Amino acid sequence: MGMSPPGHRVVRYRDRDSPWQDTGAIRPGGPIEPAIWLIAPPVLLLMWTHTVALVGWAVQTAESGSVRLEAKVLAAVVREACARALLRLMTPLGWSQPAPRPAHPRGVSERRAAPVLLVPGRTWSRASLLFLRQFLVQRGWRWVWPVNRGRGANGGLAQEAELLARRIRELRSVSGAQQIDIVGFSVGGLVAAWVLRHHPEARASVRRLVTVGTPWRGTKLAVFSPGAAAREIRFNSHLLDDLWPLPVPVFSIWSATDLVVVPGRSAAPPSDQGTDVCIEAAGHVELLVSARAFRAVQAALEHPLTEASMRRREIPRDTSPTLIPPRGVPAVSSVARDPEPEDPIP
């Protein structure tokens, strides 16, 4: 049977027993159904996020030297892609920067805790931290303030640290607290570390730093990103060596299967410089929607601080602060000062 010329009407007739009927005219280049316009953007977004996750998995696999097709690894790739897509859709929620204000959730008793400043990662806005903020607010934290970073992907660590130092002063002024805690995701943790290292006036205002997926020694994936900011976080960047030691306790939450921080161990602090918690089979952006990561952040914020780590002083480069008290030495919290377990974060 030959092809019908363009513009000809194709009609299929049916008899009593045939289901065929008139299908209408073939109209090449006709209007696209509205439903397709609604479905296409999220589908394209999921395709892009899965591609990014697969690239990260490929680089991580090449780094380890072995191909792992385990179910938990593939599941981590899918979760990473879905988390990235979800938080991208939430980006408009972070276009504005509201002033810090206290939270008063119903049915939640307020705890005596220092205000918490949440710092997002590179190319992410404060909207990416809204789940973590809600998690902490529902557990009694009154002051939890997610902020936007200064110049996004174009600003270097030093430039972004200037704005973060101002955010620290603003949160202290509005909340009336003498000191605050900082939680930094990804490169946001490096910006916070830069403030603590190079801004003495802000250093006295911070009790502890909690990092989530922060590339302390850089990441090999940074070579795929343009700009000066990406060059600063390349693996084994000399700029990052100047961040240690820090004058406050550091708690690092990371994953060995991180699909952005390559190698994954780069997200853990030096062995004698802090406390680290490894989240098994988790991606990078997935840490922003993971209940396991949120519980680790809560445990880090609740961990008692030693008297030695609470002293504010200049720390020589060849020494490290005492972060966790040795076994048998009682720890004292700088907020409630109640007896606490001596074991590190599980």
Predicted pLDDT of residue 5: 59
Predicted pLDDT of residue 75: 84
Question: Is a pLDDT exceeding 80 seen at residue 338?
Answer: no
Predicted pLDDT of residue 263: 87
Q: Which residue is associated with the tokens 């996750």?
A: 53
> Mean per-residue pLDDT for 68-79?
78
Which residues are CB-contacts of 328 (< 8 A; sequence separation ≥ 6)? 342
Let me know: does 315 contact 272? Beta carbons within 8 Å: no
Helix (H, G, I), strand (E, B) or coil at 146: strand
Per DSSP, the residues of 27-96 read -TT-PPPHHHHHHHHHHHHHHHHHHHHHHHHHHHHHHHTS----HHHHHHHHHHHHHHHHHHHTGGGGSS
Longest dimension (CA), the chain: 93
Whole-prediction pTM value?
A: 0.76
Q: Which of 51-55, 81-85, 206-210, 295-299 has the lowest mean pLDDT?
A: 51-55
Predicted pLDDT of residue 203: 85
Q: Which of 107-111, 115-119, 334-338 has the lowest mean pLDDT?
A: 334-338
> Mean per-residue pLDDT for 311-329?
34
First to last CA, the chain: 73
Helix (H, G, I), strand (E, B) or coil at 299: helix
> Mean per-residue pLDDT for 156-185?
93
Mean pLDDT of the chain: 78
Question: Is a pLDDT exceeding 60 seen at residue 282?
Answer: yes
Ordered alpha helix ranges (H), 233-319: 238-241, 291-302, 307-310
> Mean per-residue pLDDT for 192-200?
92
If pLDDT is split at 50, 70 and 90, which confidence band does 317 have? very low
> Mean per-residue pLDDT for 301-318?
56
Predicted pLDDT of residue 141: 94
**Tokens matching residue 325:** 């008290």
> Mean per-residue pLDDT for 336-346?
39
Predicted pLDDT of residue 293: 95
Question: Cα(219)–Cα(237) distance, rounded to whole angstroms?
Answer: 9
Q: Which residue is associated with the tokens 């690092």?
A: 252
**Tokens matching residue 49:** 């996020």
**Tokens matching residue 247:** 């004058």
Question: Cα(66)–Cα(117) distance, rounded to whole angstroms?
Answer: 39
**Between 324 and 265, the higher pLDDT residue:** 265
The CB-side HSE value for 75 (13 A sphere, CA atoms) comes to: 6
Element holding 230 (H helix, E strand): helix 228-232
Predicted pLDDT of residue 115: 96
Question: Is a pLDDT exceeding 80 seen at residue 30?
Answer: no
Predicted pLDDT of residue 318: 35
Read off the pLDDT of residues 106-116 as tens digits, 9 standing for 90 and up: 777 778 889 99
Per DSSP, the residues of 157-203 read HHHHHHHHHHHHHHHHHHH--S-EEEEEETHHHHHHHHHHHH-HHHH
Quote helix, strand, coil % in the chain, to nearest 5: 40, 10, 50
Quick one: angle between helices 71-89 and 34-64, nearest 10?
Answer: 130
Predicted pLDDT of residue 7: 56
Read off the pLDDT of residues 127-163 as tens digits, 9 standing for 90 and up: 999 999 999 999 999 999 999 987 554 568 888 999 9
Predicted pLDDT of residue 143: 95
